[in-house]
A and B are shown apart, each in its own frame.
Chain A
Amino acid sequence: MQPTLFSSIHLTVSQLTFRIRKLLEGDLEMQDVWVEGEISNLSRPNSGHVYFTLKDKNASLKCMMWKPDAARLRVNLQDGMAVEAHGRLTVYEPQGSYQLAVNLIQPKGEGALYQEFLRLKAMLEVEGLFDPEHKRSIPQFPKKIGIVTSQTGAALRDMLNTIRRRLPLARVILAPSPVQGVDAPPALVKAIQSLNHQNPEVILLARGGGSIEDLWAFNDERVVRAVANSKAPVISGVGHETDFTLCDFSADLRAPTPTAAAELATPITILDLSRDLLSARARLNDLTLNLLAEQKTIVSSITARLKYVSPERQLQSEYQHLDEFSRRAFSALTHRIQLQASNVDGISKRLQSLNPQGILSRGYAIITRKDNGAVVSKTSQAHGEMKVRVSDGEFEINRKS
Chain B
Amino acid sequence: MAKASAKKTEKTVEELSYEEALTELEGIVESLEDGQNPLEESLNLFERGQALVTHCGALLESAQLKVQKLAGESLISFEEDPE
Which chain A residues have a beta carbon within 8 Å of chain B's beta carbons? 141, 143, 151-152, 157, 160, 163-164, 167-176, 191, 194-195, 197-198, 270, 273-274, 276-277, 280-281, 283-284, 287-288, 291, 295
Contacts and interface: CB of A to CB of B under 8 A. Distances in A.
B1 interface: no
A163 B33 contact: no
Contact of A284 (B46, B57, B70): B46
B5 interface: no
A295 B39 contact: yes
- Find the residue from B26, B43, B65 having the highest chain A CB count within 10 A: B65
Contacts of B39: 291, 295
B26 A176 contact: no
B70 A176 contact: yes
A152 B33 CA distance: 52
A277 B65 contact: no
Given A284-B29, A284-B46, 12 more contacts: A168-B63, A169-B18, A169-B59, A170-B66, A174-B70, A174-B78, A195-B70, A283-B29, A284-B32, A284-B53, A287-B29, A295-B39
B32 A175 contact: no
A277 B70 contact: no
Given A160-B65, A160-B67, A270-B63, A284 B73 contact: no
Interface residues of B, number: 36
B80 interface: yes
B65 A194 contact: no
Nearest to B46: A288
Contact of A277 (B19, B46, B53, B68): B53
Interface string B42-58: 11001001100100110
Given A143-B19, A172-B67, A288-B32, A194 B25 contact: no
B68 A173 contact: yes
Contacts of A175: 69-70
B63 A172 contact: no
B64 interface: yes
Nearest to B49: A284
A176 B69 contact: yes
Nearest to B17: A143
B16 interface: no
24 contacts: A157-B83, A160-B65, A164-B64, A164-B65, A167-B65, A168-B63, A170-B66, A171-B68, A173-B70, A174-B67, A176-B69, A198-B70, A273-B60, A277-B56, A277-B60, A280-B25, A280-B49, A281-B53, A283-B33, A284-B25, A284-B32, A284-B49, A287-B29, A291-B39
A183 to B, nearest CB: 17
A278 to B, nearest CB: 9
A170 B59 CA distance: 12
A277 B57 contact: yes
B70 A291 contact: no
Contacts of A169: 18, 59-60, 63
B40 to A, nearest CB: 11
When A and B form their complex, which 6 residue pairs have the shortest distance between CB atoms, in order from nearest?
A168-B63, A287-B32, A164-B65, A288-B46, A284-B49, A175-B70
Contacts of A164: 64-65
A270 to B, nearest CB: 6
A287 B19 contact: no
B11 to A, nearest CB: 17
B70 A172 contact: no
Contacts of B63: 168-169, 270
Nearest to A173: B68
A330 B25 CA distance: 74
B25 to A, nearest CB: 6
Nearest to A195: B70
Nearest to A156: B80
